[in-house]
Every structure is written in structure tokens, then in C-alpha cells.
Amino acid sequence: MAVEWTAFLGVLFGCFMAFSSALVTTSCDIFQQDMPGLDGALYASCPSLPRMGSGLLARCSNVNHLEIALKEVPRNVETLCFTGLLVKNISEGIFSGLDNLTALYLQGSFFVLGGAFRGLINLRYLVMIGGWDTLEYILLDNGVFQGLEALTHLKLKKVFIDFTMQPDYFKPLKTLQAAFFLENEIRRLSFLTETLASLTALEILVLNWNGIIATREADCIESGTPSQMMEFSPVISALDLSSNDLKKVENGSLCNFKHLKVFKADATFLKVKELLQSGTEEVEALSLNAMINNDYMSLLNVCKVVEHLKVRNLSVAENFIGHLDPKSLEGCSGLLFLNFSGNLLRSFSSQLVQKLPSIVFLLLSDNRIRTLDLCQSESGFVLRNLTHLDLSHNQITDLGTQQLSCLPALLSLDLSSNHIVDLKNGAFLSLDRLEVLNLESNGLFLLENFYFEHLPTLKVLGLKGNLLKNHNDSFKVLTQLEELSLSFESIGTFCAPHSNISKFQLEGSDIEIGCSQNCSTMKKVEIKASKVSINPCKSAPFRSVTELHLEDNHVLVCLPLGTPGSFTMGLRSFPSVQKVFYSSSPDLPLTKVSSPLKDTLSYLPNLRHLHLRNLRKDFENGFLIPDLLFRNLTSLSSLILEDSGIEHFSSSIFSDLISLELLIIKSQEMKTLQEGLFDGMDRLKYLYLTDVHLDCACDQAWINTWLATHTKVKSPKMSAINCSLGSSKMYWLNFLKNQCSSQYEYFLFIGTFSFHAIFILAALLYHKVCWYLLYLLHMLRTWWNYRGRRDGRRCYNFDAFVSYSSHDECWVINEFLPNLEEKGPPLFKVCLHGRDFELGKDILDNIVDSIYRSRRTICLVSHHYLQSHWCSMEMRMATYRLIAERENMLIIVFLEKISMRRLSRYHQMARLVKKKTYLEWTEDAQEQLLFWARLRKAIGEDEEQAQEVLDE
């Protein structure tokens, strides 16, 4: 009945909300996951979930009524995310109907009932995370994972799991491949190994922040006695025990993880040597980052483990390692990947390198290395397999001649964020295969012509953050270069060296770009500079560019060849551009007379995505006119206006945007939104007004009506928009509701709302009291039949009416009836619905008559009984009789063990059990004799004596 009343209140609340704010009071953001043009303006993803494809994503926050929120979610949604859920229960089947749902994220503190995810036949990712406070956990009912036949990834954080009471939690998850358990207070590994033993598809097991102190021999489920042994079916390839208080690994405790691709024990107290006898025979990748007690981080021991377990990838980052002895790396000669990042190394000598003859990836970033000593010409040693070397975020000041000459196979070299001011001639000698070189954020200010002459295959060169004064002809030798980024100190001239460059990044203040014909193949150009001049641009040198990013700019001009003093706006030099990001310079010079956007966007026929930011001063100074800015952009599909400075949106400003599908306006004041603003946008699907501020005016109420009639347009969280009325601020929708609603509409709503509320209330009240009325009718009928009796005594046809589930009929026939009707004395006569109900009579009348014609009512309670509609009805009528006649006529018998936690879902039964003593059936033969004796005595005695018998 509580569910029915909840549904009724939900309907009333939904009606009220529908009147007060129409469609726009949603608590969910709706996104197309592969929506082009978002450009990072909105956070279009769910935490802890990967992008699941191209379908719809719904992200809801601070939801009080899950049922109402789910009505806002499209039925074809693929990813659904609830953050800050404020509900108490996730009820059974609540997500049914979302047949396309592949990923679900739930965050809050609530109780998940059994069958809550039933119907989600395509769900592959499920994430449940408790509340932000320490004690805000999620509780799970038994059977909670029933129906998740396609689930492959499960993440539970701050979810309380009682393995002793419900060991079969995860048994239905036959397709589970990865399980993540974080902060669940799982103190022993065996709790999971035993529970997950039957999941043959499981490959990844993560237990972080669970307080595991040790892995014990008993955690190996194959180590029990023969009678207790069970088969561990999963072939786990990745085990992560990071961020536990792991101090001890007992011999054989990891026997269920013999062959691992990945074993992580980051931020633990692990004694590495104990892995030798742990039961694990092979590990491909071993991670021991940020170990809590560095006394255990003996690299000599680590390399012994590496050799014993055949480790190929080793990570020992952030361990405060300040010195390496070549002897400590003995045993690590087979490593292919080594991560020493985040330590305190001051050097990494050639003697150390020689201990790693097979190394392919070597990461030494975030150390204190000052000089490179990897290659010594006198040793003649060559690392023929090393392809990736990361030396970023160190203290290297220069690169000497042939310092990298022993690395002929190197493909990628990262030297960013060092203090390099000079590159010696021959610094990159012998790096004939190098493809990626990152020198960003160093101290280079002048590039000599010989710097890159030994890099014939270089494709990507990063030089941003170096404040270059000149680059001379240093790029001409890089004939294979495809991506280039560099920064100028202030004024700089860049000449494109070759026609192979497809991605180009420039930073400075005043930059001149000389292209000739070498810019014709560029696809993406990113420039951060207040003034940019393109010279010459007679034939649109950037004619192949499809993506342009222009930041902090106020001048972009094109200087025609041989025409001094004349220029055109530079955006016309990008006729094929499809995506443009433009932000104006925050400091406009007094000499500025125009904007690069003026009369230029209309010359970009292929423009599909436009993102404009920080144009306030351009509009204030009259360099741009809002009504003319978007003229002729008939092919534009997405428009993002971020702090654009447009305060008055006339009805004609977007009139030409007939192909627009996405409109985002964020972080700005919007004083006027003229009615008809969105007319003509027949393809519009998403309208986002984020962090905007309106004027409180009733003439803007048309937006509500427009959104209510254009249901295909998703416009979430309009209720969060503020508006100003004089010096006071309020929510915009509250203002519309209080100040702009007509009396006619209000009274019409009150009338229709009241009618529907009374109608639903009457139906629910009838359903609730009909049982009382029916029972009262039978009491009156009995009083009438026995009104002439002087002694007031009632005659009964049966000693007991038996209420039971049809699933328990075998027990009733084989056990119950023989012991009561055939064994005596006394012999009792009991009423069974299958045997003693009158044929042709209404079932409800049969139930009430049978209860009233029996001296006792015996309820045989089992799991099936609790789920039966008719048994619930019989229990209810027996309870009414108990209340009405104030006599102890009800006997409760439990045929099965039922936990109080499960019983609490059935409020009426739970109340009776708390007040009345009950009998419990047992399989023990001696205790059964006592059971029948107590039951027979309870049936035969008067009411007070019957309760005393049960209390014994």
C-alpha cells in the first residue's frame, strides 16, 4: 500500500511540476555522445565511464524522485548517469524499458532492491558509488544483479557487501570481465575469490582502499581440505591490490592468480621478496609505484622478483629513489618497459643502461637529472631496441655531441620542461629513425640551421614555450615533418619549410607567416597571437585547412603580393575551413579599427562549427554588429557563444542558421531575448543556456512556451538560470511563475488538478478500505444469524483455516494434515482452500467465510508465501479479524529461514512477528515432535492459553 501512496504522491507532484515549469524544469542534461562541435564547451560524459559510442547520454544530478527523472530520459538512451542521488531506495524494475542502455552510473547513498536492474538486457557497464560523506554507503539486496546477462564491467565503490549472508551476489554475472571494488571494507581476498569462483569470463580484478592487511594462505581456495575444495574458474589476467595496508603475502596465498599480465601493488607496504613464494608463477607487468615504506623497495630484490616471475614491464615511480647501483639492476635484463618517473635520480649512466639490453620504453621523467650520460663512445655499447625515451621535467641544461648516439632505434624522444638553452652540433647524431621530438618549455631562444640536420624521418616537432627570437632555416632539412609547434618571444616571422606539414601551432604577440605554396596542404592551424599577418596570400595559401583555432587575437590580415598598404581580413584565406574557434584579445589597442570576424564568416561556405569567445569589447566598440555577424551561414550546424558580449538577441540574429542543430550560450549577460529568436531553426536539437543571466521580464516568458511545443529540442536545467529585477536576483522560472502567469490559466489548472487529485484519491481510498467494508459485512451477517443465542457463543465449522502457498502444498499434504487430522487425540478439522472452498463462490467470499468459520487461522510462511497475492490477502483478512475481535486467533508458522532484513519489506508481516510469538519448522526429527505438540496445544487451548503455549 505504501508503494501505491508513493505513486499517487508522485502523480500529484508531476502534475504540479508540469504546470509550473512545463518542459524546462528537467534535472538531466541530454547529449549526443559523438555530437560534433561541442569543442569542450560542455562536459558531455559520465565519470568512471568510457565513451560508449555515438548514442544518447543523459546526465542527471541531485534527483529526489527517480521515477520522475526517468520520464525525462529518452527511451533510446545508451549512457545514463545519476550523481548526487537523493532517493532512499532503487526499486525493482525501475529502469525497465531502457532497452538500449549500455552504461549506468549511480552515485549516492541508497538501498538497491533485488531485481532493480531487471530488463537491462544490453547493459555492459555498471558503476555504483556511495555518498561523499564517510558513512554514506550503498546497500544491496539479494538478487540485485539478476537479469544483467550482458554485463562485462562492474565498479562498486563504498558499497557494503555482506558475503556471509549472501554469498551468491555475483553468480548471475556470467559475462563479467572486469570487477572493481573500492572502499568496500573487503578485508580478505578470499571473500571475493570464493564469491567470484564461478565467473569464467572474469579477467580483471581490482581491490583498492579496502584495508587488506595481508593475503593469507586461506585466500587460496584450492588450499582447503578435499571436502572443502572448490574450483576457481576465472583466469584472472590483471590483479590490483593498490592503496591497501598490505604488509604480508603468505606463501601460496595468490595461488589463484598464477599467470598475470598485470599485478599492481602501488601505495602498499608490500615486501617484494614475498612475491617469490606467493603462488604466482608469472607476471608480465609489475607496478610498485609510491610504496609507503621505502625500506621494502630494494631494487636488488625487485629485480630478483622480475627475473623469477618473468616480468617484462616494471614501474617503480614515485619511490624517492635517489641513486642506482648497476648491481641493483641485475636480474632486470629482460625488461622491455621500465618506469622510473617521479624519483630523485640525478643521473642515469651508461653502466645502468647496459644492464637493460632489451629495453624498449624507458621513462625517466620528473627526476633531477642534469646531464645525459646514456652513451659513452669508448664503451661502444648500443641499445638497439629502445624506441621511446622520456626525459621530461628534469634539469638538463644542454645536449652535447653524440650524447644519444647509442640509441639508433629511437622513435620518440621527450625532453620537454627542462632547462635546455643550447643544442650542440651532432646532438641528434645517429637518430636516423626518430619520428617525434618534444623540446617544449625549455630555454631555447635561437634555432641554428644545424640543430635538426641528423633527423631525416622526423614527423612531429614540439617547440612551444621556448620564446624563440628566430628559427633561421633550421626546419628546411626536416623534409618529412608533419606537425610543428613553436613560440616566439614577441615579434616573429615564420616561413613554412615544406608542403608536408598538416598540423601547425604558433604562439607569440605579433607574427608574420610567409607561406608561398608550402601551406596549401595544412589541415589544422592553431595560432595564439594578438596580431597575425599572412604574406603573401594572393591565392589563399591555407586553402586546405579544415580546422582553425585563433586565440587572443584582434588582427588577422592578408597582405597581397605587390600591393603595399592594402590588405583583406585573413579569415578569407581559409576558404575550406569547417571548424573555427576564435577568441578576441583581452587588451584591444587604441589603433584597432575592425575585427577579423567582420564581413568574413559569410565567405566560409564550408563552415559547420563555430565557437566564439570574449568578444565583448568588439561589440562595445562597434567593430561587430550582432545582427550581421551570422549572415549567410546556412550550413552551420553548431554554434557556441562563450562570453560573447551579445546582450540583446533580436529575432533576426539567427535567421540564416537554418541548419543549426546545437546552440550553446554560456557565461554571459542576456538582457533581451526577442520572441521569434529560434524561428527558422527547424533542425535544432540541443539548446544549452549555461551560466547565463537574464533580465526579469515577462516578455521573455515565450521561451517556456516555445520549448514546451518544440519537444524535440532538449534544453536541460533551465531552472538554474538567474535573472535580475533591480538590485534583487531570483530564479528566472520562479519569476515567470509568480509574476507572469494569468489568473485564467491559474484557475484552469487548479480546477483540472483538483478533479484529477480527487478522482485518484477516491480510487486509492476505495482500494484501501474495501477490505474493512467486506469484513464488516461478514460480521453483520454473522451477528444477524446468531442474534437469538443467549450464551453468545459462536459455533465453528473448523478448528483452523490454513493459509499457505501452492508451492508448499506437498508439505501440507504429507506433513501437516496427517499430524493434525489423523493423529490424536484430539483430532482437528482444518480448512484448506483446495479442498474445502465452496465451488462457484467468489474467492474473496470463500476466504472471509472460511476464516470466520474457523476458530484459528494458521499462516504457513515461506518465501513463496510472501510473494503470493492471495496469501497476502488471507493474511490481511486474518489480521482484520484479530484487530476487530481482540482475540488471539492467528498462529504464524515459518517453514523457511527468512531474515528480518528481507521480512522488513512486508510491513504487515514484520509488525506481527514483532508482536506475536511464532513457530519455526525444523528438519530435526526430535524437534519436530515438540513442534507438533506445541501447535496442537495452541489450536486446542483458548486464546490466552494459546499465546502462552507459543511463548514457551
Task: Give yes or no for residue 395 having a pLDDT over 90.
Answer: yes
27-176: what CATH class? alpha beta
Which candidate, 458, 450, 451, places its Cα nearest to that of 431? 458
Three-state DSSP string of 165-210: CCCCCCCCCCCCCEEEEECCCCCCHHHHHHHCCCCCCCCEEEEECC
For residue range 130-178, list pLDDT tens digits in order: 988 878 899 999 889 999 999 999 999 999 988 776 777 898 999 999 9
For residue range 286-304, list pLDDT tens digits in order: 999 999 876 556 888 899 9
What pLDDT is stored for residue 30 in this prediction?
83
Q: Are 89 and 66 in contact (CB under 8 A)?
A: no
Backbone phi and psi for residue 597, each to the nearest 5 degrees, phi listed first: -90, -15
More confident residue, 267 or 907: 267
Backbone phi and psi for residue 41, each to the nearest 5 degrees, phi listed first: -70, -25
Q: How does residue 493 score in pLDDT terms, banded at 50, 70 and 90? A: confident
Architecture of domain 798-951: 3-Layer(aba) Sandwich (3.40)
3-state helix, strand, coil in the chain (%, to 5): 25, 25, 50
**pTM of the predicted structure, to 2 decimals:** 0.73
Q: Are 663 and 687 in contact (CB under 8 A)?
A: yes
Reading the block at residue 69, the C-alpha cell is 527523472
DSSP calls for 197-245: TT-TT--EEEEESS---EE-GGGSTTSS-TTT---------EEE-TTS-
Please tell me whether residue 373 adopts helix, strand or coil conformation. Answer: coil
Which candidate, 235, 215, 186, 332, places its Cα nearest to that of 279? 215
Q: Are 472 and 445 in contact (CB under 8 A)?
A: no
Query: In angstroms, rounded to a whole number, what is the distance separating the alpha carbons of residues 256 and 280?
Result: 8
For residue range 887-907, list pLDDT tens digits in order: 667 888 888 888 877 777 776
H or E stretch including 337?
strand 337-339
Residue 520 burial (C-beta neighbours within 10 Å; 0-12, 13-18, 19+): middle
How high is the mean pLDDT of the chain? 84
For residue range 338-354, list pLDDT tens digits in order: 999 999 999 999 999 99
Query: In angstroms, rounded to a whole number, what is the distance separating the alpha carbons of residues 641 and 614?
Result: 9
What pLDDT is stored for residue 38 in this prediction?
67
For residue range 62-105, list pLDDT tens digits in order: 899 999 899 888 899 999 999 999 999 999 999 999 999 999 99
* b/e code 645-682 from CB counts within 10 Å (16+ = b): bbeebeebbbbbbebbbbbbbbebebeebeeebbebbe
Task: Give yes or no for residue 411 having a pLDDT over 70.
Answer: yes
Q: Are 443 and 419 in contact (CB under 8 A)?
A: yes
Domain ranges of the chain: 27-176, 491-585, 798-951
Query: In angstroms, rounded to a whole number, what is the distance separating the alpha carbons of residues 658 and 677?
Result: 12
State the number of CA atoms in the 13 A half-sphere of 185 facing the CB. 12
Query: In angstroms, rounded to a whole number, what is the distance separating the alpha carbons of residues 517 and 725?
Result: 58
Query: In angstroms, rounded to a whole number, what is the distance separating the alpha carbons of residues 172 and 168?
Result: 8
What pLDDT is stored for residue 18 in this prediction?
42
For residue range 903-932, list pLDDT tens digits in order: 777 766 777 777 777 888 888 888 888 888
For residue range 852-881, list pLDDT tens digits in order: 888 888 888 888 888 887 787 777 777 777
Three-state DSSP string of 417-455: CCCCCEECCCCCCCCCCCCEEECCCCCCCECCCCCCCCC
Q: Which residues contact 330 (CB under 8 A, 6 or more apart)?
A: 300, 303, 355
What pLDDT is stored for residue 908 in this prediction?
67
Backbone phi and psi for residue 487, each to the nearest 5 degrees, phi listed first: -125, 140
Strand-strand pairing, 890-894 and 854-861: parallel
Please tell me whether residue 669 adopts helix, strand or coil conformation. Answer: strand
CB atoms within 10 A of CB 165: 10
Calculate the dihedral angle through the C-alpha atoms of 775, 776, 779, 783, rounding to the nearest 10 degrees.
-170
Task: Give yes or no for residue 16 having a pLDDT over 50.
Answer: no
Mean pLDDT of all residues in 686-706: 87
**Segment among 239-243, 497-501, 600-604 with least mean pLDDT:** 497-501
Task: Give yes or no for residue 25 having a pLDDT over 50.
Answer: no
Mean pLDDT of all residues in 792-813: 84
Whether cis (ω within 30° of 0) applies to the bond prior to 536 is yes
Q: List Cα–Cα distances, 322 to 203, 319, 348, 394, in angstroms.
A: 36, 9, 11, 13
Query: In angstroms, rounded to a whole number, what is the distance separating the alpha carbons of residues 532 and 512?
Result: 6
Share of residues in the chain with pLDDT > 70 (%)? 86
What pLDDT is stored for residue 736 in this prediction?
83
CB atoms within 10 A of CB 488: 23
Please tell me whether residue 511 adopts helix, strand or coil conformation. Answer: strand
Q: Are 367 and 347 in contact (CB under 8 A)?
A: no
More confident residue, 768 or 310: 310
For residue range 818-859, list pLDDT tens digits in order: 888 888 778 889 999 888 888 888 787 788 888 888 888 888
Mean pLDDT of all residues in 459-480: 89
Query: In angstroms, rounded to a whole number, what is the distance separating the alpha carbons of residues 618 and 625?
Result: 9
Q: Which residues contact 911 (CB under 8 A, 6 or more apart)?
A: none
Share of residues in the chain with pLDDT > 90 (%)? 40
Q: Which amino acid is at 249?
A: V
Query: In angstroms, rounded to a whole number, what is the distance separating the alpha carbons of residues 2 and 227?
Result: 47
* Beta strand residue intervals within 524-574, DSSP E: 524-528, 531-534, 547-553, 555-558, 568-569
Q: How does residue 569 score in pLDDT terms, banded at 50, 70 and 90? A: low
Reading the block at residue 346, the C-alpha cell is 640525478
Q: List Cα–Cα distances, 227 to 166, 198, 221, 222, in angstroms.
A: 21, 18, 12, 11
**Segment among 160-164, 773-777, 799-803 with least mean pLDDT:** 773-777
